[in-house]
Amino acid sequence: MVKEGYYFGVPLLLLGGVSYLLQWNSVAVVAVLLALFVFSFFRDPERVIPAEPGAVVSPGDGRVVVVAEEENAGRPGKRVSIFLAVWNVHVNRSPAAGTITKMEYRPGKFLAAMRERASVENEQNIFTLSTEAGELMFKQIAGLIARRVVSWKKAGEKVARGERIGLVRFGSRVDLWVPRDAEILVKVGENVKGGSSVLARWHARPAADKFDGASVADTDANLTPAGKRS
C-alpha cells in the first residue's frame, strides 16, 4: 500500500475505535468500512514487468475505452484510453523505459472519466517520454470523483518500463499516445493491468534506418572531391 493510504485510512480507524468506545455503533461500523475501502484503494501490488523488446505496457489498471487514430503536435499516431474504476489499483506506471523530457500539469474540469472529453478537458499530468524507439506521451487524468493527480517523478528523470510514477485518487483515466508505426495490441472492452499488460509493440529502428535523405546528402557534401563519384 502506498503511504497516502495511511493518511486517509488511519484517521477513519481511530474514529471507528472512539465511536465504538462511546457506543456509537453505527458510526463505528461506517468508519471501519470506509477505512477498509481506503486501504484497498491505495493497495500497490507487485507486477511482473514484460521483458520482451519493444513492449509498451499499460500505465494503469482498468478497462480500455478508446483505441483511435490521433495526431499529436502534427504527428500521426494512436491513442489508447483506459478507465480506472474505484475498485481498480490506482498506482500508475511508466509504459516504457526512457527519460521524462517534459511533464506538464494542466488544470481543468472534473468530468466523468468515461467521457471522451475528459482526455482533453479534465485536470491532468502529461508526461513526454523519450525512448529508444522515439517519443511517446501518457497522461494521468482526474475524474468526477478523483480530484487530484499525483506525480512522483519530474522532468529529466530516467524511468524503467513498469516503474511506478504516481497515482490518481478515487476513480480516473490514463491515456497513452504512440506514433503511427507502433502496433496496438488491445481492443476496446479489454481489461488491463498497469505495468504487466502489453498495450503496443514498438521496436527501436536500426541505426542504419535513422539516416534520411538529408543525412545522406550531408555525408556526400563532406566528401573530398577525390572521394566523390564522377
pLDDT at position 142 is 80
| Catalytically annotated residue among 19, 119, 172, 197 | 172
pLDDT at 121 (0 to 100): 72
Is 28 in a helix, a strand, or coil?
A: helix
Pairing of strands 135-142, 191-192: unpaired
Q: Where do we find the cell 506538464?
A: 104
Cα 23 to chain centroid, rounded: 45
| Residue range 70-95: mean pLDDT, rounded | 90
Locate the DSSP E strands across the chain. 55-57, 62-69, 77-84, 91-93, 98-106, 124-130, 135-142, 149-151, 158-159, 164-168, 172-179, 183-184, 191-192, 198-201
Residue 198, class by beta-carbon neighbours within 10 Å (0-12 exposed, 13-18 middle, 19+ buried)?
middle
91-93: strand order across its sheet: 91-93, 164-168, 149-151
Q: Which of 127, 112, 223 is nearest to 172 (CA)?
A: 112
CB burial of residue 229 (10 Å; 0-12, 13-18, 19+): exposed
Catalytic (active site) residue 172? yes
Supply the pLDDT for residue 189: 94
For residue 144, the model assigns a pLDDT of: 67
pLDDT digits (tens, 9 = 90+) for 108-159: 776 766 667 777 777 889 999 999 989 999 999 886 665 578 889 999 999 9
Measure the CA–CA gap between 165 and 123, rounded to whole angstroms: 17
66-70, 140-144, 164-168: least confident range: 140-144
Residue found by looking up cell 573530398 in the block: 224
**pLDDT given for residue 16 in this prediction:** 77
Strand order in the sheet with 183-184: 55-57, 198-201, 183-184
pLDDT digits (tens, 9 = 90+) for 183-192: 999 999 999 9
Identify the pLDDT of residue 146. 52
Cα 220 from chain centroid?
43
- Which has the higher per-residue pLDDT, 11 or 70? 70
